Structure 1
Amino acid sequence: MCVGELSKNESYWVVDNSTGEVALPEELDVIQCPNDYSSNGVCTRNNGTSTCECYPGYVSSDCSISRDTIPDLYYMPTNGLCDISQRPCLETPVYGGPFVQSSSLSCKIEHLTASGVITEYNDAEFVHEEEVICPFPKSRLKRSDISSDEVIKVYNISISNSGTNYSHPLKVAVYDSKCYKCDGPSQCQLKNGTCSINGQCYNYEEQNPSDACQICNPNVTTSDWYLQPSTCTIDNQCYTDGQEKTGSFCHVCSSDKNRNSWDIKATNSYHQLIVIHINFPLKLDCFYLLKDKI
C-alpha cells in the first residue's frame, strides 16, 4: 500500500499528545524519503506531511542522480532509421538514462558528411528518466555542395545532463525509401531503376523539374541527369528536333542551333515557300521570316 493510500485511512493516523495534532506515524517518513535520500537531500516533517528536497546538483525521487551523471544510451527507434517518405524526420526519441530534467539537458548531433563532420548542439526535450527527444539539424548546406549520397543523412547523437560531458553516441540515418533500401544506419543501397540526384530521389524516366528534356536514366548514370538527344527545352516543355511550335508553322526545335529557343524553319527555295503558302496559308510575318531564310 502506498503512502497516499495510507494517509486516507484514519486508522493509521496517530495523535501527538503534546500538541494534539493528528498525523501519520514518523515511521512512514522512511517510505516518503526513500534510501534516506542517498545522503544527498533532507526530509522535513510539517503538519503530518513530509517534504523532501535534494541538495543542489542532485535529482530523482531518492536524490541518487547527480546532474553531472553521464547517461548511457541504449537504442534508437526503428533500428536507427528515419524514412522521410513515412514521416517528416524533424526529431527523434533517444532511449537510455538516467536523464535529468534540467535546462542543461542537451543533444550533441554530429552530421557525418563526405567532406567532414558538422557538429550542432541543441536542447533535449525531457520525456522521462529513460527517454529524451533530440531535433535533427536543419540543412544549412548549399544545394550545389550536396553530393548524391546526401539523400541519406547520417548523424551521431550524444546526450549530456550537464551540457558539457556527453554520452557515447548512437548512429541514426535519415533517408528516402523511394530510392534507398536500408537495413541499418550504415547499410543502405540504391534501389534498381532509381536515381539519387542533388539530394533527391527520382524514378526511371522521371523529369528534371528544371529541364523537361533531362530525365533519370540509371542505365547511363544514377547520380546525374541524362539529356535526351536531339531535344529542345523551351518554356519548360520538351520538344524533339523538327517539332513545330504549336500554332506556328514557322518555328521549329533545332537542338544543334539552340536547345532553349525556337528556330526559323528552313526552306530550300522561293518556289517551295510559295507551295507551302498555298497548301498552308501563312501569316504575313511568318511568310517573310521563311523568305529571309532562303
Structure 2
Amino acid sequence: MTVQIFPSLRDVGKTKGLCGTLTNDCKDDFLKSDGTHFTNGDTARECNTLGLTDYSFQPDEFSFSWRVDEGNNLFKEEPTFDGNHWGANKQLCICRKDTNNVDGDEYIDCSSSSIVTCNREEEVKTPQTCSSFLKKTWSAPIIRRSRSKRSPYITSQELDKSVAWTEAEAIEQCRLFMDKSASFKLCKDVPNVDPTIAINTCVLDILLTNSTQWMINAREGIKGKCLAEVRVNATLQNETESGGASIAEIVKNASCINDCLERGRCENGSCICDDGYGGGDCGIDLSIPPIIYGMIDSGLCDQSLVPCTEAYIEGDGFTSEGRPNCRIKKFQISLIGSLQIENQSVDRKGDPSTLMTMFCPISSSTAKVKQSVQEPPFITGYRISVSNDGLNFGEEEDMFIFNSTYQDFTVVDGKYQFSLKSGFCFIDGDPYLEGTVSSFDVCRVCLPGKSLTEWSSRADPECRVVLKSETTSGLGTGAITGIVIGGAVAIILVSGLILWKYKSARPKRFNSKVSMHGLDNETAVTMQRDA
C-alpha cells in the first residue's frame, strides 16, 4: 500500500518532523517523535543551501523514531491495539475553544474523553443510519477469505534496469520524463517555483531505489506547488497573453492528475480518458474488475433495523466511467439448512459512491427461486459480483438478509449457520411467538416445545374433541372432521336398517332413542317396546 499525504495551503509554516519542509527551516525538519531534535552537521544548514549530494545522507536515528510500533500497526494481518477502545457507537469529534490562546482559536478534539455520540442522520447515501447502528444488538464477525489480488490500477511503467543507475543516467531520465509534461513546462515560468527541485528529488529517488516508479511523485509535487502559487498570485491571475486566458487559468487548465497517465487528454484540469480506462487520472483499467474486500457487516443485513434493499460493497478501484454493474443471483436457505440457488442472474447498474465503495440495488432484483423441496425459505440471500465495464465481473460475495428479532447466527469453519431463536415457531414461512393462536383454527397454537414448524393442538376444554381425535388417530383436522361426519351418517343408516328389520318382524308399535356419547365412545342404541 502506498500512502500519500498532500498538505493544504493552511498547513504551510505549521508542520514539523516528517513534514517539516513546509516551514522552510531545516532545523525543525528533523524533530523526532519524542519531541527532541536529531542534529549533525548536515541538519544545521538552511534548506536552500542543500543540494543533491547533501540530501544523500541517511538520518536513521530520525527516521526510525517515527516508525509505528507493532502494537499500533493498522496494516498487520491481525492488528492489536494497546490503547482504550472508544466503544461500539458511531462517534463524532467536536470543536473546542483554545482557552490558553488569547484569540480563542477553535481546534478539533477527537480524544476519547471528548467525542460525542452520533445523534443525527445525514441526507447522504450511507450503508446504515446512526439510529439503526445504535439499535444493533449483534456484532458482525470477521470472516477472512482468500481473494484475488489482481489490481485494476495501472502502475507507473518500470524501466528495465538490471544494474545500478549512475547519477548522470538518472538526471537525463528525469529531465526527459519531466519535459514530456505540458503542465511541468508551464510551471517553469511561474515565480517562486524551482523546477530543479523536482529534478533533484526524482534523481535521488532513482539512486536510492534503483527504480523509476517514483518519478511521477516528484513531478506531481512540483505541480502542486505551482498550482498553489497561481492561486495566490494576483499578477498571474490578471495577466493575459494576446488578450486570452490568464497565466493562472492556462496552468490550471493544463494540470491534470498524473498527466492522465498518457491514457487520456487533459481538458480544463480534468482527464477525459480513452476507451477502456477510468478514474481521475485514467489509472483504472476498466476490463479488470474492482478489488473486493467484502461487504459491510460481513454480508449480514438485519431487516429489523434497515430495509436491506441495497448491498454495500467495500473494495478498491470502483469508478463511474464505463458501465459499473452488479450481477445478482438470489438464493434461499431453509430452516434445516438446504440451499436453493436461482439458475439465472440479473445485472443492475451499480452506484460507485467513492473509489472504495459501491452500492448495488437488490430490491425486486430477481424472480422467486423455484422450490425444489418442500421446506419454506428461512433465509434469503444474494450472490453479488461487480464490474467496471459491465462485461468482466469479479469474485462473488454473499449477502444474507435475516431478522434478529427471531433469527440468530453462528460462524462455523468460516461459514454462517442460521437458527431460530428460542420461544419462536417458523410455520409455512412465517415466524410466530410462542403461544400465538392460529388465525385459521383457534384450536391450533405455536408451541416450540412440541413442534417448531407445525401448529400444535390446544388443551382447552372446547378443543378436547379435536385433541382426542389427534391422540388416537394422528390425523389432521380435515381428516378428523371427515371421519366424524362419516361416522355419524353410518350410525344413522345402521339405526334405520335395524328399525326397519324390527318393524318387519314385530309389527307392533314402539319408540326408539339413539344416544351418541362422544366421537370415540361406542354408540348406544336403546329400544323400548310400547306394549
TM-score by length of 1: 0.67
SS in 2 for 1:212: coil
Which residue in 2 is equivalent to 1:73? 292
Deviation of the 1:215 alpha carbon = 2.0
Cα distance change of structure 1 residues 9 and 209 upon mapping to structure 2, 3 Å threshold:
farther
Identity %: 24
Deviation of the 1:10 alpha carbon = 1.4
Please give the alpha-carbon distance, in whole angstroms, between the structure 1 residues aligned to 2:374 and 2:233: 67
Deviation of the 1:126 alpha carbon = 2.9
In structure 2, the gaps of 5 or more residues are 1-8, 10-223, 333-337, 467-478, 489-510, 514-531
Written as runs of structure 1 = structure 2, the 5 A alignment for 1:47-58 is 50=269, 52-58=271-277
Which residue in 1 is equivalent to 2:497? none
Residue 10 of structure 1 pairs with residue 234 of structure 2:
yes
Are the aligned partners of 1:151 and 1:176 in contact in 2 as well (CA < 8 Å)? no
Are the aligned partners of 1:151 and 1:201 in contact in 2 as well (CA < 8 Å)? no
Are the aligned partners of 1:42 and 1:54 in contact in 2 as well (CA < 8 Å)? yes
Which residue in 2 is equivalent to 1:38? 261
Deviation of the 1:182 alpha carbon = 2.0
Written as runs of structure 1 = structure 2, the 5 A alignment for 1:1-294 is 1=9, 3=227, 6-7=230-231, 9-13=233-237, 15=239, 22-24=246-248, 32-44=255-267, 50=269, 52-102=271-321, 104-113=323-332, 114=338, 116-118=340-342, 119-121=344-346, 122-136=348-362, 137=365, 140-141=368-369, 147-148=375-376, 150-183=377-410, 186-228=416-458, 241=465, 257=481
Please give the alpha-carbon distance, in whole angstroms, between the structure 2 residues aligned to 1:214 and 1:142: 30
Which residue in 1 is equivalent to 2:172? none
Q: How many residue pairs are counted as aligned between the two chains?
A: 247
Cα distance change of structure 1 residues 80 and 15 upon mapping to structure 2, 3 Å threshold:
same
CA RMSD of aligned residues (A): 4.0
Deviation of the 1:156 alpha carbon = 2.1
Cα distance change of structure 1 residues 19 and 159 upon mapping to structure 2, 3 Å threshold:
same
Cα distance change of structure 1 residues 15 and 256 upon mapping to structure 2, 3 Å threshold:
closer
SS in 2 for 1:222: coil
Please give the alpha-carbon distance, in whole angstroms, between the structure 1 residues aligned to 2:283 and 2:319: 11
Cα distance change of structure 1 residues 153 and 53 upon mapping to structure 2, 3 Å threshold:
same
Deviation of the 1:37 alpha carbon = 0.6
Deviation of the 1:141 alpha carbon = 4.5
Deviation of the 1:71 alpha carbon = 0.7
Deviation of the 1:241 alpha carbon = 4.2
Are the aligned partners of 2:329 and 2:341 in contact in 1 as well (CA < 8 Å)? yes
SS in 1 for 2:453: strand
Deviation of the 1:41 alpha carbon = 0.9
Kindly provide the CA deviation profile for residues 85-114 of structure 1, in whole angstroms up to 9, marking residues without a partner as x.
222222221111311215722112232344
Counterpart residue type for residue 432 of structure 2 = Y
Deviation of the 1:13 alpha carbon = 3.5
Which residue in 2 is equivalent to 1:283? none
Structure 1 or 2: more helix by fraction: 2
In structure 1, the gaps of 5 or more residues are 232-237, 243-254, 272-294
Are the aligned partners of 1:96 and 1:131 in contact in 2 as well (CA < 8 Å)? yes
Are the aligned partners of 2:383 and 2:399 in contact in 1 as well (CA < 8 Å)? yes
Kindly provide the CA deviation profile for residues 223-257 of structure 1, in whole angstroms up to 9, marking residues without a partner as x.
222244788xxxxxx85549xxxxxxxxxxxx954
Deviation of the 1:50 alpha carbon = 4.5
